[in-house]
């Protein structure tokens, strides 16, 4: 009898068909993907995380030229093509969905990949954090949290190298999540972060504020959740068209608590992840909520998506892209106020601000 180790062709065909179907959903949903739709993408019979990760890498490469062209256009204050803006918007949000799908299950493939192909200056979250969108940065951090000790080899060396503040922010956010998910790693991470913070040579980069935020979330996670829930309420109430009282009143009928609804509003917001409110960084404080979630927790139930999601417009895309432009002219900074108004951004240059002035009531407790 002739035994074969080959995978049956019908199984391969089914896997390929499943991945193609998933791609259609991932690349067409933007920031409107519902919890139910995500759950269909992440069933036990869905493609493995490694397949989604390959798609994430290919998507990153494919987006490079479009992103560079749009940044060049925005930096010249020239009108950008709406179709190109929409394509970029859908693409970068696809990266967020793919990050969650990649790291949701058995991750032995990732550790094996690193052993076979050591990567000294690469990490999986750079492409998410560089977009300066809160929802993408938090999804990336969640994925890294799943990696546990494997993540330390990718992010601790980043703190030792001279780098742009954005790169260090990326590392701090990732390492804070690893510490929350794997408390036995927290002492090692904290020591590295404290040494990094002491090497600050100036205010640019906000090392003190980042370290203060990490200390808060590790030492007092309940206090961090209380503080960040107040921030989330500000995010939800910022958009005047939202019936905040009505949305909160209907939360339980849609299967979520009021607090969960508030956090969903913030973790799906297009606001800048790199803002500082007082001496704290909201993106880091929000980890106190999301580290306890499964991947589908990032998505609102279908009945809440329209109420919580900011509709896409060309102006929204341009405003987000401006965060990545080194502004030599203040007019190149973000045009919309958003929930970042009135405070400070981690990287200056007129690129990002803090929370609205009403948020001065939010204080560390």
Q: Is 68 helix (H, G, I), strand (E, B) or coil?
A: helix
58-65 long-range Cβ contacts below 8 angstroms, 24+ apart: 59/91, 59/94, 59/95, 59/98, 60/95, 60/127, 62/91, 63/88, 63/91, 63/92, 63/95, 63/127
Tell me how far apart the alpha carbons of residues 26 and 49 are, in angstroms, rounded to a whole number: 14
CB 220 within 8 A of CB 252: no
CA 362-176-92 angle, 5° bins: 85
Helix (H) or strand (E) holding 320: helix 314-322
Q: Could you tell me if 261 and 244 are in contact, meaning their C-beta atoms sit under 8 angstroms apart?
A: no
Alpha helices in 182-257 (DSSP H): 186-198, 207-219, 221-238, 244-249
Q: At what angle do helices 165-181 and 207-219 cross, to 10 degrees?
A: 10
Q: What is the pLDDT of residues 135-188, one digit of tens each?
A: 999 999 999 999 999 999 999 999 998 888 899 999 999 999 999 999 999 999
Kindly tell me if the per-residue pLDDT of 9 is higher than 60: no
| The pLDDT value given to residue 330 | 45
Phi, psi of 277 (to 5 degrees): -115, 110
User: Which range, of 8-12, 117-121, 159-163, 310-314, averages the lowest pLDDT?
Assistant: 8-12
pLDDT tens profile 27-75: 999 999 999 999 999 998 888 999 999 999 999 999 999 999 999 999 9
Q: What distance in Å separates the CA atoms of residue 307 and residue 271, rounded to the nearest whole number?
A: 16
Distance CA 108, CA 296 (A): 21
Residue 12 predicted with pLDDT over 60 = no
The answer to which of 9-23, 163-177, 240-254, 326-340 has the lowest mean pLDDT is: 326-340
DSSP 8-class letter at 213: H
**Across 92-102, average pLDDT:** 97
Using one digit for the tens of pLDDT, what is the confidence trace for 191-237?
Answer: 999 999 998 776 555 899 999 999 999 999 999 999 999 999 988 88
Tokens of 67: 């992103």
| Out of 106-110, 242-246, 249-253, 357-361, least confident range | 357-361
> Between the CA of residue 265 and those of 43, 293, 308, 309, 317, what are the distances in Å?
25, 15, 6, 8, 19
Predicted structure pTM score:
0.87
* 27 in Cβ contact with 94 (< 8 Å): yes
**Of 182 and 340, more confident:** 182
Residue pLDDT, tens place only, 250-308: 788 888 899 999 999 999 999 999 999 989 999 999 999 999 999 999 999 998 998 88
pLDDT score recorded for residue 354: 32
Measured between alpha carbons, how far is 265 from 23 in angstroms, rounded to an integer? 25
Q: How far apart are CA 237 and CA 2, in angstroms?
A: 67
- Count of Cβ atoms closer than 10 Å to residue 318 Cβ: 20
Length of the chain: 365
Write the DSSP symbol of residue 339. G
For the chain, state the CA radius of gyration. Answer: 20
pLDDT at position 249, please? 81
Given a cut of 50, is residue 7 above it in pLDDT? no
Q: In sequence order, what are the residues at sequence separation of 6 or more whose Cβ sits closer than 8 angstroms to the Cβ of residue 325?
A: 71, 74, 75, 332, 351
**Cα–Cα distance, 99 to 108 (Å, whole number):** 16
């Amino acid at each position: 009898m002739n035994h074969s180790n080959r995978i049956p062709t019908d199984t391969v065909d089914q896997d390929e068909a499943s991945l193609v179907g998933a791609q259609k959903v991932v690349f067409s949903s933007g920031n409107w993907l519902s919890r139910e739709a995500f759950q269909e993408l992440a069933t036990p019979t869905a493609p493995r995380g490694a397949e989604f990760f390959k798609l994430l890498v290919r998507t990153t490469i494919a987006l490079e030229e479009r992103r560079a062209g749009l940044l060049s256009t925005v930096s010249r204050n020239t009108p950008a093509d709406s179709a190109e803006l929409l394509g970029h918007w859908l693409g970068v949000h696809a990266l967020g969905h793919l990050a969650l799908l990649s790291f949701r299950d058995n991750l032995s493939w990732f550790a094996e990949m690193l052993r076979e192909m050591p990567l000294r200056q690469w990490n999986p979250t750079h492409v998410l954090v560089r977009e300066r969108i809160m929802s993408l940065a938090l999804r990336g951090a969640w994925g890294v949290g799943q990696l546990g000790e494997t993540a330390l080899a990718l992010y601790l060396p980043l703190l030792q190298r001279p780098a742009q503040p954005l790169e260090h922010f990326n590392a701090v956010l990732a390492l804070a999540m690893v510490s929350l998910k794997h408390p036995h790693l927290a002492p090692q991470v904290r020591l590295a972060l404290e040494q990094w913070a002491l090497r600050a040579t100036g205010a640019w980069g906000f090392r003190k504020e980042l370290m203060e935020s990490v200390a808060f979330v590790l030492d007092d996670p309940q206090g961090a959740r209380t503080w960040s829930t107040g921030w989330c309420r500000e995010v939800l109430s910022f958009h005047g068209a939202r019936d905040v009282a009505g949305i909160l009143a209907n939360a339980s009928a849609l299967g979520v608590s009021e607090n969960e609804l508030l956090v969903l509003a913030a973790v799906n917001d297009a606001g800048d992840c790199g803002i500082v409110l007082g001496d704290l960084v909201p993106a880091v404080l929000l980890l106190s909520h999301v580290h306890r979630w499964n991947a589908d927790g990032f998505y609102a139930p279908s009945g809440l998506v329209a109420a919580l999601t900011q509709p896409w417009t060309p102006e929204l895309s341009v405003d987000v892209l401006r965060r990545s432009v080194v502004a030599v002219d203040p007019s190149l900074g973000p045009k919309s106020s958003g929930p970042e108004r009135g405070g400070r951004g981690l990287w200056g240059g007129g690129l990002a601000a803090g929370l609205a002035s009403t948020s001065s009531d939010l204080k560390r407790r």
